Chains A and B, each alone.
Chain A
Amino acid sequence: MRARFSRWLRVNSEHYLLESAQAEMAKRYLGRSVPATERGLVPGLWRHLFVPMYHRLPQRLRQSAIEAMPGSHRRHWSEPPPRPHIPGIQ
């Protein structure tokens, strides 16, 4: 059940966050606005509630929410070794 919910959340959040970023990039680089290809109440809620709310959350909170989702990131993965530092050399 939890995995199904996280899949649903991932698919939708990814879709609408990407759509919003693509619209911003299209304006910046292509000089045009991008009309939404899906209309309706549900896409509207994702676009006008979820996306702005996600971007208003502090980065740390967003990261915590992502880390709380079930997935491979919650299993054991060794941290990369720290970058060597040679004193006196940048």
Chain B
Amino acid sequence: MGGGAAGIGAAGAARQADPGAAVTVFTEYEDVAYSPCGIPYVHGKEIPSFEALFLQTKEAYVKAGIDVCYETRVSSVDTTRREVQVEGRGTVPYDRLILATGFDYADPGVPGGDLGGLYYVKNIRRAMEWDRVLDSVKTAVVVEASPLGLEMITALAHRGITVHVVDPHPWALAELADPDIMRPVEESWAEMGITTHFGTRVEAFLGEGTVRAVRTTAGEIECDLAVICTHKQPNARLAAAAGLALGSTGGLVVDERMATSAAGVFAAGDCTELPHGVNRVPIACLTGSHAYAQGKVAGTNAAGGSRVYQPVYVPWGMVAGTWMVGGASFGETLATALGIPFVMGVADGISRARYYPGVRKVRVKLLAEPAGHRLIGAQMVGGEGIKERADFLGVAVRTGITLEDLATMENVYSPPIGALNEPISVAAQNALASLRR
């Protein structure tokens, strides 16, 4: 159930594990196998067309023996009888069920939520329609500087649209990133003409039929469009109605095989919750790459194979304004919120040799356990190489690498791609130096 990264990953893996298995995918949407994460970049004109976001044709699934049922809604699940109710088709039995029902945006919960002109970025067909609307939009309000919000803010500004950002937090991406990491991003937004309203709540969407303004705690902002980028919540409604166990995140409880609390039912992607590798706190709604990898595990196990997933360390990264930001596991804000003790090292370095054209600043923050100095997280802002550093640091946290290991690490030095001093290493050296003081 579900045609996103998790559902399609699961379907492919199930066929691979058991080529004789009859695999059916139910999706409410018109398409599968496209990259919804690419939608903001088509809106921003970095990518010329939505067609580029499709990874497979519908025929490819027919050839692969996967029966994809488009625009088909499953209305209920009965795990005792091992059957699902499908609208327009009746009862469909199964041997194994994989739930990959994705996420919903948190409801802003304010009046005017039913007006036209409120854009929830999700489905590519709707995105194609919205893209035509964007041609006539002069002013847009982006509600919350979440990960998607960051991408949409930049995309709309690239499109020449006047952008206002309304966010209840004190800085952008404040549920994930630290203020010093986000400061260059916010400065670049200001240079791009983007107006930010932090510490501000949306009180209502105003208009007759279509939104014409957003009323906030800091006043009214006139607009032609509001893009709702509130945080993602697991969509586990059908599973909950079927009696499957949900965790504190609202996501489906799963084990390392992605098996749920019901026999023969697996789950993957944004509808599930996974334990964090550092403190075991379950978290939900991670990235597309997490969803796809979980889908592979769920699909393999559902078809009789054997594969396990692992607790997550969540490397992340994105382009925001004229910068790239990223990190892994805990930042300073989140560790402080959770009361996790840490020591910290910060370094301001450069992305390539200081004399090489295109050199950008890179700020790296490392957090480590006070005893033993094992890395527990990192945050970064820079112009390039942030994704690769985030991937590396995610593995570093996972494998228990220490500040001492990083302080003495070897690094690539080549003027066009890397500076003499690697900022990760300098941040670790600075952390150790501060401990000696």
Contacts and interface: CB of A to CB of B under 8 A. Distances in A.
A66 B280 contact: yes
A70 to B, nearest CB: 6
Interface residues of A, number: 41
Given A3-B247, A55-B339, A66-B280, A75 B255 contact: yes
A49 to B, nearest CB: 16
B279 interface: yes
B168 A73 contact: no
A29 B111 CA distance: 35
A66 B340 CA distance: 13
- Name, among B272, B337, B339, B404, the residue most crowded by chain A CB atoms within 10 Å (CB to CB): B337
A6 B250 CA distance: 9
A78 B308 contact: yes
Given A6-B248, A90-B404, A54 B339 contact: yes
A38 to B, nearest CB: 8
Interface string B164-182: 0000111100110011100
A78 B180 CA distance: 36
Contacts of B118: none
For chain B, which range describes its interface: under 10, 10 to 19, 20 to 34, or 35 or more residues?
35 or more
Contacts of A78: 256, 308, 310
Interface in A11-31: 14, 17-18, 20-26, 29-30
A17 to B, nearest CB: 4
A78 B310 CA distance: 7
B110 to A, nearest CB: 13
Contacts of A22: 169-171, 174, 333, 337
A3 to B, nearest CB: 5
Interface string A54-84: 1101010011001101111111111010010
B256 A76 contact: yes
A54 B338 CA distance: 9
B332 interface: yes
Interface in B391-422: 398-400, 404
- Name, among A9, A69, A73, A76, the residue most crowded by chain B CB atoms within 10 Å (CB to CB): A73
A60 B293 CA distance: 32
Nearest to A10: B248
Interface in B243-267: 245-251, 253-256
B19 interface: no
Given A70-B248, A71-B247, A80-B399, A24 B254 contact: no
Interface in B140-193: 168-171, 174-175, 178-180, 183
A12 B178 CA distance: 21
Contacts of B245: 3, 70
B399 A24 contact: no
Given A66-B280, A80-B399, A72 B339 contact: no
A59 B179 contact: no
Given A7-B246, A17-B338, A77-B310, A72 B255 contact: yes
Contacts of A9: 248
A61 B90 CA distance: 50
Contacts of B341: 59
A10 B337 CA distance: 13
- Name, among A24, A70, A75, the residue most crowded by chain B CB atoms within 10 Å (CB to CB): A75
Contacts of B224: none
- Name, among B175, B308, B311, B336, the residue most crowded by chain A CB atoms within 10 Å (CB to CB): B336
Contacts of A59: 339-341
A71 B336 contact: no
Contacts of B398: 80
Given A59-B339, A75-B253, A76-B256, A6 B247 contact: yes
Given A25-B178, A73-B275, 4 more contacts: A17-B337, A26-B179, A66-B281, A72-B247
17 contacts: A7-B248, A18-B174, A22-B170, A23-B170, A26-B170, A29-B179, A34-B170, A37-B199, A55-B339, A63-B279, A70-B247, A71-B275, A75-B254, A75-B255, A80-B398, A83-B400, A90-B404
